[in-house]
Structure 1
Amino acid sequence: LGYYLFIWGNPEGKEYFKEYRADERIYAVNKSCWNERAGNSIRIVYVDTYPHGITDSLINSFLAGNNKSIINIRVSLSNFSDDQILHGFDGMLIINKKNEEIEIFTIPVVGANYSYKDKFLVNVHDFELFDGKICNALMPIDSYFSP
């Protein structure tokens, strides 16, 4: 019942996300948030493998204000398929980290360009806080999520 996500961001942000995923703990404090999500977890995530058609320059173009590039991003996310993902990604998270500051953007495959944006501070391995922020960031995907 989990989400299929593509993660993009700066190297520090992607590495922090990988460490969070490797931790595999369930944080009781965030359980109520995850229970409210249509997808109760992240099932499959691609961090280093890019969906066909998505490039760093395309994402940077979108972040620089070229809203037309979101169409190409969404088409690539929706149409992605391989041996693990048959029906495309549910959305994309952009995670940038600089020192203790993390910024998360949600790019859903349907709806507004940015449905969620948050910036916050974390301790080195404060995955409990990060888990809660990721859960909140996935809320916009619930409007169309269908496992």
Structure 2
Amino acid sequence: MEHRNPFPAVDIIVEMIDRPQRPIVLIERHNLPYGWAIPGGFMDYGEPAEETARREAMEEIGLEIELIDLLQVYSDPARDQRQHTISMVYIATATGEPQAGDDAKDAKIINIWEIPKNLCFDHDRILHDYLQYRNYGIRPRL
């Protein structure tokens, strides 16, 4: 039997602290699976997760971010239909105007009450957990 490991990734919930209500940034994916997603991507070999988050934010939305907290690690084998991924999800802050880059077709600043329904992967669950934490201080359950 071939030995296989999950692929490590990061996702970043980017709060725009220079806007009222602290909206977040979502990207519209240019590649499959299509739809809206939290910025993020796969770790490079030898790269710490925190650096992956900063690199992916710059590549996908063109913003320098400040990491604030680690929301949770998401590892359900079904979270990504392409392969088994493990994502470390960070909460970060940024200022400025996001610009779509890398595999992002579009980047938008979204108020939390305007989050689209067609989110990719398990990002609806992640954003639900984030809102519970942001609004009520309730951390996601393990």
Q: Same fold (TM over 0.5)?
A: no
Q: Which has the higher helix share?
A: 1
TM-score, length basis structure 2? 0.28
Q: Which has the higher strand share?
A: 2
